[in-house]
């Protein structure tokens, strides 16, 4: 028992370390790319110089000074500003200080983007967008995941029936991603039939009552959720079906059938139980995918989530927001992966780790 | 292996898929031969003069089928082609030029624009002027301009002439072609069919030249229609095919093959190499691919080939590494590998001659099925505005259409055409991939 705990501890520490390194590497890469090999610094320097020049020229005292004095003043103020923002240090040094501040979750202030409530702190901007992403992708992914598993279980029972064949033959349609179906759905339901909204999250202006608000929200969510279902439901039903079929052709399932167990009991005890680790893995992978939402889908549907925030930030060269989104994403991803490994180790007796296995636990 | 491939014939979806892929390849070869790369870039990026004669936002010609009406095509009349040019010398050395530009109009709707392009070459600074009159099939004569200066090149946008609009009461392209009297709203009018004539008269100095071209822009154009910059979408749709195929296939080959080989090498040598590959894979799996591609596209370069390189690089140490590793670990213990070692095969010979080929059947379906992912990835980048700046791709057409609110304005063709092509490509590879999976994956065969 003690050995078991120690092994678990060691396993946990190694995992946390590995994931920590992965997050740091991912973040550092982001910082390197965002810096554009120094070009971004030039952009920021010239922006600062421009602002300082404007400020100095607007100052009535400088009107009477000789131009050389004014230029000196501008240079001095710029220098101060560079120092304040840390631009006087080499990028290599700065990159690590960026990394440390980012990792400690002090995300700082955005350069251009403003949150809907008018705040410039990156944390506020991100927190404002996170619920939108989670709402849409949480709903869609949970719906798709559980529909796929239940549907797959149902059709694996009726192997060879017309619905089974339909799913098999339609599975390749999932080769196209959700955003792609989104365009078609917008065309059909918004452009031609004019029954559902084109995009966005709620009507403008937002309805006053809670019920009205929720209704409007649901109406706006139908198309994106449907688009994601088109892009993923059939393929995942297909793969679950195949998976269940493989497991239900095992000898012990035949034995259970011979014993005369009900098909529900067989499913629960002999098919779902051994496939649980895989189901959980896929569930966690789905949650991982959910954090980032889908940049393109959010863009197509004009959904005010994290993905679109990221795209806006990239378009505006808003480094703090880009780094902020990546940090949040990196952390959430790392936590999800860690939990995945952990749950996997608990559920699957074969991967139950270390010393315990030897003792036949 | 070949015997297995022949089994594909049992799957109708695989046959359809292979057929579509074959068709796309033929289209690609035709495109690259018919419209060479520089020509495609010129046609797509070209400035004034390249697409001037195309209508703006025109539907494809087959749109007729849905409307029942015969929609107007673009009519181009020049003095050389269909027109008559009469030159009559005057006493003072100058000459009077009369250009008659006739055309038959047999369509059920009005044109979108009418423009008169004139070119003149003359010496000296004194510019002469020209007049133009419009003759309808009913014998009416409408003076449209009486005193317009001759220029070296002049575009007279008849349909935007404010004076003409005042005179006719409706926009000129409607008023000039309809039989109804003034005061009838445009929606109640229909074009008068028959022979129209535009007559241009001017007097030019000795040695001067004058030429005119009348373009009556239609509502439909070409097999694919045109976009907001009058570009013929056929060019982009055709060129999108080889680009999508090349991007998808190269990305698939590059990423799966490199992952495959590295997984084999890592598993074979084991120990530190294997551990290193495993750690890199774990880090790489945390790196979000699309955000990185977006950053690279925004901050460095949007070149299709750089994106391709990035996609491959980010996909080398992907989740596939883990899957292949598990398979190689099993295959490594097989007796025939031991036999190879026994006769003295070197490390790399064993890996590439014995270890890797064993897993190829598993690789093939994954490889085919991953192609659409990359095709759509390229389209996705283009849709958010990070498409290659020079090349016309399907995704870029969708991006243009989105930014011009094509769906809102009812120009569905603009979105549907590239989308259907994307879908065909994606489905074709997916259908073949699924069938291959069933052929090569023994566990799926019984079910």
pLDDT per position as a tens digit, A321-356: 888 888 888 888 788 878 877 777 777 666 554 434
The dihedral over CA atoms of B101, B102, B106, B108, expressed in degrees to the nearest 10, equals 40
pLDDT tens, position by position, A40-84 = 777 778 888 888 888 888 888 877 888 888 888 888 888 888 888
Residues in Cβ contact with B283 at an 8 Å cutoff, skipping those fewer than 6 apart: A21, A22, A25, A26, B317
Answer yes or no: do B375 and B336 share one domain: yes
The DSSP symbol for B58 reads: P
Alpha-carbon gap, residue B137 to B412, rounded angstroms: 35
Nearest CA in chain B to A291: B288
Answer yes or no: do B285 and B392 share one domain: yes
Residues in Cβ contact with A290 at an 8 Å cutoff, skipping those fewer than 6 apart: A133, A134, A137, A138, A141
Give the B window 235-294 contacts with A, CB below 8 Å: 279, 282-283, 285-288, 290-292, 294
Asked if B443 contacts B262 with a C-beta cutoff of 8 angstroms, the reply is: no
Of A183, A322, A333, the CB nearest to B286: A333
**Residue where one domain finishes, among candidates B182, B217, B252:** B217
Answer yes or no: do B382 and B340 share one domain: yes
The phi and psi torsions of B96 (rounded to 5 degrees) equal: -95, 130
Note whether A30 contacts B376, CB cutoff 8 Å.
Answer: no
What pLDDT does residue A355 have? 39
**Which band of pLDDT confidence, cut at 50, 70 and 90, is reported for residue B32?**
very high
Considering the domain boundaries, does residue B167 fall inside one? yes
Nearest CA in chain B to A331: B286
The predicted model gives A188-201 an average pLDDT of 89
What pLDDT does residue A269 have? 81
Of chain A, the percentage scoring pLDDT greater than 70 comes to 92
Answer yes or no: do B187 and B287 share one domain: no
The predicted model gives A210-214 an average pLDDT of 90
Q: How many domains does chain B have?
A: 2
Residues in Cβ contact with B93 at an 8 Å cutoff, skipping those fewer than 6 apart: B205, B206
Answer yes or no: do B31 and B118 share one domain: no
Residues in Cβ contact with A168 at an 8 Å cutoff, skipping those fewer than 6 apart: A238, A241, B434
Note whether A295 contacts B429, CB cutoff 8 Å.
Answer: no
* Sequential DSSP letters for B209-255: EEEEEEEEE-SB-TTT-B-TT--BHHHHHHHHHHHHHHHHHHHHHHH
**Residue where one domain finishes, among candidates B193, B217, B241:** B217
Answer yes or no: do B37 and B84 share one domain: no
Cβ count near B78 (within 10 Å): 16
Q: Both tokens of residue B15?
A: 């046959």
The dihedral over CA atoms of A237, A242, A246, A248, expressed in degrees to the nearest 10, equals 40
Nearest CA in chain A to B401: A183
Asked if A30 contacts B295 with a C-beta cutoff of 8 angstroms, the reply is: yes
| CATH number for the domain that contains residue B408 | 1.10.3720.10
pLDDT tens, position by position, B119-152 = 888 776 667 888 999 998 888 888 888 888 888 8
Angle made by CA atoms B280, B283, B287, in degrees to the nearest 5? 130
| CATH number for the domain that contains residue B179 | 2.60.120.380
Considering the domain boundaries, does residue B48 fall inside one? no
Of A159, A176, A330, the CB nearest to B447: A159
Considering the domain boundaries, does residue B29 fall inside one? yes
Average pLDDT, chain A: 82
What pLDDT does residue B442 have? 63
Which range, of A212-216, A265-269, B27-31, averages the lowest pLDDT?
A265-269
Considering the domain boundaries, does residue B445 fall inside one? no
Residue B387 C-beta-side C-alpha neighbours within 13 Å: 23
What pLDDT does residue A361 have? 33
Answer yes or no: do B38 and B65 share one domain: no
Note whether B376 contacts A315, CB cutoff 8 Å.
Answer: no
Nearest CA in chain A to B402: A300
Q: CA distances (Å), B433 to each of A270, B21, B156, B323, B370, in order? A: 31, 12, 56, 18, 9
Alpha-carbon gap, residue B60 to B81, rounded angstroms: 25
Q: Reply yes or no on whether the pLDDT at A272 is more than 60.
A: yes
Asked if B421 contacts B70 with a C-beta cutoff of 8 angstroms, the reply is: no
pLDDT tens, position by position, B320-371 = 888 888 888 888 888 888 888 888 888 888 888 888 888 888 788 888 989 9
User: A196-229: buried (b, 16+ CB within 10 Å) or exposed (e) per residue?
Assistant: bbbbebbeeeeeeeeeeeeebbeebbebbbbbbb
Note whether A299 contacts B383, CB cutoff 8 Å.
Answer: yes
Considering the domain boundaries, does residue B226 fall inside one? no
Give the relative orientation of helices B320-332 and B271-286 as an angle to the nearest 10 degrees: 160
**Residue where one domain finishes, among candidates B217, B252, B271:** B217
- Answer positive or negative: Cα dihedral of B142, B144, B148, B152: negative
Note whether A177 contacts B376, CB cutoff 8 Å.
Answer: yes
Note whether B286 contacts A23, CB cutoff 8 Å.
Answer: yes
Alpha-carbon gap, residue B205 to B215, rounded angstroms: 27
Note whether B288 contacts A326, CB cutoff 8 Å.
Answer: yes
Pairing mode of beta strands B129-135, B141-149: antiparallel
Answer yes or no: do B297 and B359 share one domain: yes
Considering the domain boundaries, does residue B50 fall inside one? no
What pLDDT does residue B281 have? 86
Residues of B in contact with A30 (CB under 8 A): 292, 295
Considering the domain boundaries, does residue B224 fall inside one? no
Of chain B, the percentage scoring pLDDT greater than 90 comes to 29
pLDDT tens, position by position, B211-222 = 899 999 999 988
What pLDDT does residue A291 have? 67
Instruction: Extract the runs of DSSP E, i.e. beta strands, from B371-414.
Output: none
Alpha-carbon gap, residue B193 to A75, rounded angstroms: 74
Scanning B149-189, the segments in alpha helix (DSSP H) are: 162-168, 172-175
Of chain A, the percentage scoring pLDDT greater than 90 comes to 12
**Which band of pLDDT confidence, cut at 50, 70 and 90, is reported for residue B422?**
very high
Considering the domain boundaries, does residue B223 fall inside one? no
The predicted model gives B17-44 an average pLDDT of 92
**Residue of A23, A173, A175 to mutate, testing the B interface (most B Cβ within 10 Å of its Cβ):** A175
pLDDT tens, position by position, B61-95 = 888 888 888 889 999 999 888 888 888 888 887 88
Asked if B356 contacts B260 with a C-beta cutoff of 8 angstroms, the reply is: yes
Residue B7 C-beta-side C-alpha neighbours within 13 Å: 12
The predicted model gives B408-421 an average pLDDT of 91
Nearest CA in chain A to B290: A295
Alpha-carbon gap, residue A51 to A73, rounded angstroms: 13
Alpha-carbon gap, residue B189 to A269, rounded angstroms: 75
Residues of A in contact with B15 (CB under 8 A): none
Of B13, B291, B412, the CB nearest to A187: B412
Q: Both tokens of residue B197?
A: 């004539």
Place of tokens 């013929």: B232
The predicted model gives A173-194 an average pLDDT of 90
Note whether A175 contacts B372, CB cutoff 8 Å.
Answer: yes
Of A39, A186, A310, the CB nearest to B291: A310
What pLDDT does residue A198 have? 87
Answer yes or no: do B116 and B197 share one domain: yes
**Which band of pLDDT confidence, cut at 50, 70 and 90, is reported for residue A113?**
confident
Average pLDDT, chain B: 87
Note whether B427 contacts A310, CB cutoff 8 Å.
Answer: no
Answer yes or no: do B201 and B103 share one domain: yes
Answer yes or no: do B22 and B83 share one domain: no
**Which band of pLDDT confidence, cut at 50, 70 and 90, is reported for residue A295?**
confident
What pLDDT does residue A6 have? 78
pLDDT tens, position by position, B289-304 = 888 888 888 888 888 9
Alpha-carbon gap, residue B364 to B440, rounded angstroms: 8
Domain that holds residue B104: 61-217
Answer yes or no: do B348 and B284 share one domain: yes
The predicted model gives A26-35 an average pLDDT of 79
Helix (H, G, I), strand (E, B), or coil: what is residue B179? Answer: coil
**Which band of pLDDT confidence, cut at 50, 70 and 90, is reported for residue B397?**
very high
Q: Reply yes or no on whether the pLDDT at A292 is more than 70.
A: no
Nearest CA in chain B to A329: B288
CA B359 to chain A, closest CA, distance in angstroms equals 20
């Amino acid at each position: 028992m003690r050995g078991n705990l120690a092994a678990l501890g060691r396993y946990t520490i190694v995992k946390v370390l590995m994931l920590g390194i992965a997050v740091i590497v991912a973040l550092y890469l982001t910082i390197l790319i965002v810096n554009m090999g120094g070009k971004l610094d030039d952009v920021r320097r010239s922006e600062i110089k421009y602002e300082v020049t404007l400020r100095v020229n607007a100052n009535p005292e400088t009107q009477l000074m000789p131009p050389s004095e004014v230029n000196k003043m501008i240079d001095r103020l710029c220098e101060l500003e560079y120092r304040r923002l840390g631009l006087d240090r080499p990028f290599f040094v700065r990159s690590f200080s960026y990394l440390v501040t980012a990792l400690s979750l002090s995300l700082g202030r955005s350069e251009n983007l403003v949150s809907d409530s008018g705040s410039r702190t990156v944390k506020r901007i991100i927190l404002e967008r996170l619920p939108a992403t989670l709402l849409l992708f949480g709903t869609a992914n949970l719906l798709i995941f559980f529909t796929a598993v239940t549907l797959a279980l149902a059709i694996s029972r009726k192997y060879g029936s017309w619905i089974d064949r339909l799913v098999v033959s339609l599975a390749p349609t999932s080769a196209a991603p959700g955003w792609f179906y989104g365009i078609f759905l917008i065309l059909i339901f918004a452009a031609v039939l004019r029954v559902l909204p084109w995009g966005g999250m709620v009507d403008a202006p937002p309805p006053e009552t809670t019920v009205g608000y929720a209704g409007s929200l649901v109406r706006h969510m139908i198309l994106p959720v449907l688009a994601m279902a088109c892009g993923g439901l059939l393929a995942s039903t297909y793969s679950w079906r195949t998976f269940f079929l493989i497991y239900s052709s095992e000898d012990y399932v035949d034995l259970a059938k011979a014993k005369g167990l009900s098909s529900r009991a067989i499913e629960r005890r002999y098919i779902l139980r051994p496939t649980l680790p895989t189901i959980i893995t896929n569930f966690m992978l789905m949650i991982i995918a959910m954090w980032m939402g889908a940049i393109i889908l959010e863009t197509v549907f004009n959904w005010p989530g994290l993905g679109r925030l990221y795209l806006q930030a990239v378009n505006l060269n808003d480094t703090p927001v880009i780094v902020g989104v990546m940090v949040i994403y990196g952390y959430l991803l790392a936590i999800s992966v860690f939990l995945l490994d952990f749950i996997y180790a608990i559920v699957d007796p074969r991967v139950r780790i270390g010393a315990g296995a030897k003792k036949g636990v | 292996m070949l015997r297995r491939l022949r089994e594909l014939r049992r799957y109708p979806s695989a046959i359809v898929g292979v057929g579509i892929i074959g068709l796309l390849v033929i289209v690609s070869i035709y495109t690259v031969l018919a419209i060479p790369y520089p020509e495609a870039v010129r046609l797509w990026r070209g400035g004034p003069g390249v697409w001037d004669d195309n209508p703006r936002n025109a539907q494809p010609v087959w749109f007729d089928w849905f409307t029942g009406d015969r929609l107007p095509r673009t009519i181009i009349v020049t003095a050389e082609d269909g027109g008559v040019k009469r030159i009559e010398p005057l006493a003072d050395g100058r000459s009077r030029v009369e250009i008659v530009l006739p055309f038959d109009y047999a369509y059920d709707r009005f044109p979108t624009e009418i423009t008169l392009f004139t070119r003149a070459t003359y010496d000296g600074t004194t510019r002469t002027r020209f007049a133009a009159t419009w003759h309808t099939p009913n014998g009416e004569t409408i003076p449209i301009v009486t005193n317009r200066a001759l220029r070296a090149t002049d575009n007279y946008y008849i349909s935007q002439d404010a004076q003409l609009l005042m005179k006719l009461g409706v926009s000129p392209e409607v008023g000039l072609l309809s039989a109804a009297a003034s005061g009838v709203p445009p929606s109640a009018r229909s074009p008068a069919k028959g022979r129209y004539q535009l007559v241009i008269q001017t007097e030019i100095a000795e040695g001067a030249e004058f030429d005119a071209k009348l373009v009556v822009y239609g509502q439909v154009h070409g097999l694919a229609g045109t976009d907001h910059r009058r570009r013929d979408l056929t060019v982009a749709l055709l060129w999108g095919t080889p680009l999508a195929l090349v991007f998808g296939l190269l990305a698939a080959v590059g990423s799966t093959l490199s992952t495959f080989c590295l997984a084999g090498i890592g598993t074979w040598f084991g120990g530190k190499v294997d551990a290193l590959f495993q750690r890199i894979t774990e880090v790489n799996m945390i790196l979000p691919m699309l955000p990185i591609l977006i950053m690279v596209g925004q901050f460095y370069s949007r070149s299709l080939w750089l994106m391709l390189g990035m996609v491959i690089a980010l996909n080398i140490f992907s989740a596939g590494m883990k899957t292949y590793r598990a398979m190689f670990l099993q295959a490594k213990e097989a007796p025939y590998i031991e036999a190879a070692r026994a006769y003295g095969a070197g490390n790399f010979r064993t890996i590439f001659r014995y270890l890797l080929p064993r897993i190829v059947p598993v690789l093939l379906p994954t490889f085919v099925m991953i192609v659409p992912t990359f095709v759509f990835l390229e389209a996705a980048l283009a849709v958010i505005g990070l498409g290659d700046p020079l090349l016309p791709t399907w995704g870029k057409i969708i991006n243009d259409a989105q930014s011009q609110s094509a769906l809102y304005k009812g120009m569905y063709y603009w979105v549907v055409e590239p989308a259907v092509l994307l879908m065909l490509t994606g489905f074709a590879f997916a259908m073949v991939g699924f069938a291959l999976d069933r052929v090569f994956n023994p566990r799926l065969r019984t079910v």
